[in-house]
Amino acid sequence: MRAGPVRRKRRQTRAGRRALAAQLSVPARRFLSTESGSAGLLLAAALSGLAWANSPWSGSYRALWETVVAVSVAGWDLSMGLGDWVNNGLMAVFFFVVGLEVRREFSVGELTNRRRAAIPIAAAVGGIAVPALLYLAASPGGEAARGWGVVIGTDTAFMLGALAVVGPTFATQLRIFLLTVTVVDDIVAVSVIGFFYSSTLNLPALGVMVALGALMALLSRLGVWRATPFALVGAALWLATVQTGVHASIAGMLGGLLVAAQAPAREDVEGAARRFRAFRQSPDVQLGRSARLGLVRAVSVNERLQMSLHPWASYVIVPLFALANAGVDLRGGVLADALSSRLTWAVTGSLVIGKLLGVGLSTWAAVRAGLGRLPQGVSFGHVFGGAALSGIGFTVSLLIAGLAFDDAVLRDQATVGVLLAAVLATASGWAVFRAVAVLRGQTEADLPRFLDRAVDPEADNVRGRVDAPLSLVEYGDFECPFCARTTGVTDELRERFGDDLRYVFRHLPLVDVHPHAELAARAAVAAQAQGRFWQMHDLLFAHQDQLEFEDIVGYAAEAGLDVEAFLRDLDAEDTAARVRADVASAEASGARGTPTFFIGTMRHTGPHDTDTLARALEDSRNAEGVPDARVRRRSR
C-alpha cells in the first residue's frame, strides 16, 4: 500500500497510442523519490516500535497507545485510544491521498489507456487472488481464516525502497509498472476493509455519508478549484463514516476518488503567465494576489491536495502507524510460539510465494493472451523480481491484522508473519534480480537513455553552428502547447550559450492526441526542401491552433515558399518517410512524449525550463571539458 501519492503536473503532451506511451513526468519522479525516501523512516519506526515493546519500558508503549483522547463539542463527543486515532484518523488521511492518486491515474495517468492498463490490472488481480487462496488453504481455519485479507496488500513505500536497493540500476519503467499494479491493489484492499472488516452499520449515518460523498462529487462537477471546500466536506465525510461503523479508510479512499483530476488547460496556463508578467512589470499587492491565484487555478485541486498531503502521509502518518502497530512483545515464548504457528507461516508463505506467483504468472499469462505488452525495457525476469518485492505487505497487512483478529495471540502471530515476509520478500527480490542480471545480462529496466541517431547536419534541422561543442536535441510536436512554450526557452538558451550551442529539432507528431500534428510535420519538411524550415517552424508554433490544410498553405506563402512546389513536396512519400524516420528514432531513443530533450546524446529527465536545461548543458560542458566560448575568445 502506498504511503500516499503526489500530484503529477502535466509537463508533456502524452501519446495515446501503445507505441508512444508517455515519458515519465516530473511529479511522478517526485512521487517515486518521496516513496523511496520514506521507506527508511518507515523501517526505523517499525524497528523502534518492536524494540520499545520488547524493552524494560514496554508498559509505557502499551499505555501510550491506549491513552484515551476525546473531542467534545456542545455535548457531542468522540473518544478513542491514541492508537485508534492513528489507525482510524490519520490513516484516513493516508487513504485519502491514495484515493487522489487512484483518481488521477484513471483520469490522466497510466490507466487512461485500456490496453496499457490491461497487463498491470491482470497482475494486480492475480497478486490479490493467489495469496488469499493460498492463505485459506494453509491457515489452521476457525478464527484464523478471517485473516485472508492480511496477505492481499503491498506496501509501496517499502517496495520502492527495496527496489532502489536490490533492483536494477535504472528501473524507472519497472517502477511505473509496479505503481500501476498497486493502484488496483489499493482499491481492492480498502474495499475488503470496508466490506469484510467493518462493524454493524448505522443506517442514518450511512445516509449522511452518501450525501456528503455526493456533495464532494458535485464540487468536482462544478469545477470548484479551491481546496478548502473539499477539505471541509472530506472531514465531515470522515466523521459520518466513523459513526456508520464502516472503517474510516473507506472515507479516505472515497473522498480522494471524488476529487477530479485533469491536465492543466492551455488557457489557464497562459492566463497565469499573463498575470505573472503583469506582476513582474508592476509588483503591487493586487497583481501579486492575482498572479498567485492564476498559478493555483492552473493546477487541478486533486494535484494540489496530493502535493500538500503526500509528505505528511509519507513522513509522519505511515511511520506513526508503524510505530504504533509493529510493537509485538516477543518475550515469554511469544516468538517461539509464533515461529511454530501455522498461522504465522500461512501469512509469510502467502505474501512471499503467493505474491511472486500471483503477480508474475498473471502478467505472463496476460501478455501471452495478447491483452497488452510489457513496458519497453522491462522483461519477465524484472516482473518476477518486482512480484517478489510486492510480498512486502506491511502497512495494509498490519492494519487488517488488527481488524481481523480479536484474539491477541492470533494478532501477534499474524504480525510476526508480516514482518518475516518483508525480510524474505526482499531477499527473494534480490535473488531474482541478481539471476536476471547474471543469466540474461538484463541490468536495467528502463527506457533507452541515449540518442539513437547521431545529429547529421545534412539531414537534421540545426540552429547555430553545426560544429558547436554543446548540442540540444528536441523531439517536438507542432500542435503540442508545451512544445510551443519551449520555443522561447530554446531561444534564451541560444542567447545564453552563443556559438557554443546548436539546437536540433526532430519530429514526434502524436497523432492520437493532436490530429493536425502529422500534417504540420510534413509541412515543415516540405519547407525544409526549399531551405525555409525554421521560418515554417516558427509560423506553425505561432498558429498551432490553426493548422488546417488551408492555414498551412497560407503559412507557406507567408514564408516566401514556392507554393506549387511546396504542395508537391507536402504529399511526397519522401516527406512522409522523413517524419517516420524521426518518429522511429524517438522510439529507439526513449522519447515517449513531447517535448523530450537530449543534452548531447543523453536523454534529459526533469523540468525543461531555461535554468534547468542550462544547468544540464553546463554539466555536459564540464563533463566533457569544453571551455566556454568567452574564455576561448579571451585566450585568442
Q: What is the pLDDT of residue 25?
A: 45
DSSP string, 114-160: HHHHHHHHHHHHHHHHHHHHHHHHHS--GGGGGGGGGGS---HHHHH
Residue 85 has what DSSP assignment? I
Q: What is the pLDDT of residue 8?
A: 39
Q: In this structure, are residues 216 and 234 in contact, taking their beta carbons and an 8 Å threshold?
A: yes
Q: What is the pLDDT of residue 486?
A: 64
Does the residue 379 lie in any domain? yes
Does the residue 93 lie in any domain? yes
**Contacts by residues 238-244 (CB-CB < 8 Å, ≥ 24 positions apart):** 238/89, 238/92, 239/78, 240/205, 240/208, 240/209, 240/212, 241/92, 241/205, 241/209, 242/78, 242/88, 243/202, 243/205, 243/208, 244/201, 244/202, 244/205, 244/206, 244/209
Residue 504 has what DSSP assignment? E
Percent of the chain with pLDDT over 70: 90
Which residues have CB under 8 Å from 305's CB, separation 6+?
7, 97, 100, 227, 230, 231, 259
Kindly report, residue by residue over 437-476, the tens digit of the pLDDT.
999 888 888 888 889 889 998 889 999 999 999 999 999 9
Q: How many domains does the chain have?
A: 2
Q: What is the pLDDT of residue 110?
A: 66
> What is the pLDDT of the chain when averaged over all its residues?
85
Domain housing 380? 19-198+247-264+299-326+333-440
Over residues 94-104, the mean pLDDT reads: 87
Q: How confident is the model at residue 341 (pLDDT cuts 50, 70, 90)?
A: very high
Is 74's pLDDT higher than 60?
yes
Rounded to the nearest 5 degrees, what angle is found at the Cα of 620, between the Cα atoms of 614 and 621?
90
Over residues 316-338, the mean pLDDT reads: 87
Q: What is the pLDDT of residue 11?
A: 54
Domain identity same for 56 and 125 = yes
Domain identity same for 375 and 485 = no
Q: What is the pLDDT of residue 22?
A: 35
Does the residue 575 lie in any domain? yes
Domain identity same for 570 and 429 = no
Over residues 31-36, the mean pLDDT reads: 50
Which residues have CB under 8 Å from 217's CB, separation 6+?
258
Q: Indicate which CATH number applies to the domain containing 42.
A: 1.20.1530.10
Pairing verdict, β 501-507 and 470-476: parallel
Q: What is the pLDDT of residue 625?
A: 61
Is 410's pLDDT higher than 90?
yes
Q: What is the pLDDT of residue 2?
A: 47
Residue 23 has what DSSP assignment? P
> Among 417, 365, 354, 419, which Cα is nearest to 387's?
354
Does the residue 515 lie in any domain? yes
Question: 127-131, 132-136, 446-450, 515-519: which range is least confident on average?
Answer: 446-450
Domain identity same for 430 and 526 = no
Q: How confident is the model at residue 36 (pLDDT cuts 50, 70, 90)?
A: low
Q: What is the pLDDT of residue 28?
A: 47
The H or E element spanning position 596 is: strand 596-599
Other CB atoms within 10 A of residue 481 CB: 21
DSSP string, 400-455: HHHHH-SSHHHHHHHHHHHHHHHHHHHHHHHHHHHHHHHHH---B-S---B-SS--
Does the residue 546 lie in any domain? yes
Domain identity same for 515 and 550 = yes
Q: What is the pLDDT of residue 605?
A: 83
Q: How confident is the model at residue 12 (pLDDT cuts 50, 70, 90)?
A: low
In angstroms, the CA 140 to CA 342 distance is 6
Higher pLDDT, 410 or 447: 410
Q: Does the CA dihedral 355-357-358-362 come out positive or negative?
A: positive
Domain identity same for 36 and 136 = yes
The H or E element spanning position 599 is: strand 596-599
Q: What is the pLDDT of residue 531?
A: 92
Q: What is the pLDDT of residue 219?
A: 93
Q: Which of 386, 405, 440 is the last residue of a domain?
A: 440
SS3 sequence, 344-391? HHHHHHHHHHHHHHHHHHHHHHHHHCCCCCCCCCCCHHHHHHHHHHCC
Is 504's pLDDT higher than 70?
yes
The three three-digit cell numbers of residue 334, written as one number: 511469544
Q: Indicate which CATH number applies to the domain containing 601.
A: 3.40.30.10
Backbone dihedral angles phi then psi of residue 233, each to the nearest 5 degrees: -65, -35
Kindly report, residue by residue over 242-283, the tens digit of the pLDDT.
888 788 888 888 999 899 888 776 677 667 767 767 777 677
Q: How confident is the model at residue 101 (pLDDT cuts 50, 70, 90)?
A: confident
Q: In this structure, are residues 155 and 396 in contact, taking their beta carbons and an 8 Å threshold?
A: yes
Domain identity same for 346 and 418 = yes
Does the residue 449 lie in any domain? no
Kindly report, residue by residue over 192-209, the tens digit of the pLDDT.
888 888 777 788 888 999
> Among 443, 463, 498, 480, which Cα is nearest to 617's?
498
User: Does the model's pTM come out above 0.85?
Assistant: no
Over residues 315-334, the mean pLDDT reads: 86
Domain identity same for 471 and 505 = yes
Domain identity same for 376 and 484 = no
In angstroms, the CA 295 to CA 273 distance is 8
Residue 15 has what DSSP assignment? P
In angstroms, the CA 146 to CA 132 distance is 11
Residue 475 has what DSSP assignment? E
The SS3 call for residue 337 is: helix
Q: How confident is the model at residue 218 (pLDDT cuts 50, 70, 90)?
A: very high
Over residues 569-595, the mean pLDDT reads: 90
Q: What is the pLDDT of residue 626?
A: 59
Interhelix angle 408-440/342-349, nearest 10 degrees: 40
Domain identity same for 27 and 151 = yes
Cα 407 to the center of its chain, rounded Å:
38
Question: 54-68, 150-164, 286-300, 588-602: which range is least confident on average?
Answer: 286-300
For 234-270, b/e burial (b = at least 16 CB within 10 A) is bebbbbbbbebebbbbbbbbbbbbbbbbbbbeeebbe
Does the residue 128 lie in any domain? yes
Q: How confident is the model at residue 18 (pLDDT cuts 50, 70, 90)?
A: very low
Domain identity same for 404 and 474 = no
Does the residue 207 lie in any domain? no
Is 20's pLDDT higher than 80?
no
Higher pLDDT, 37 or 454: 454
Tell me the sheet residues that pair with 357: none
Q: In this structure, are residues 498 and 629 in contact, taking their beta carbons and an 8 Å threshold?
A: yes
Domain identity same for 308 and 389 = yes
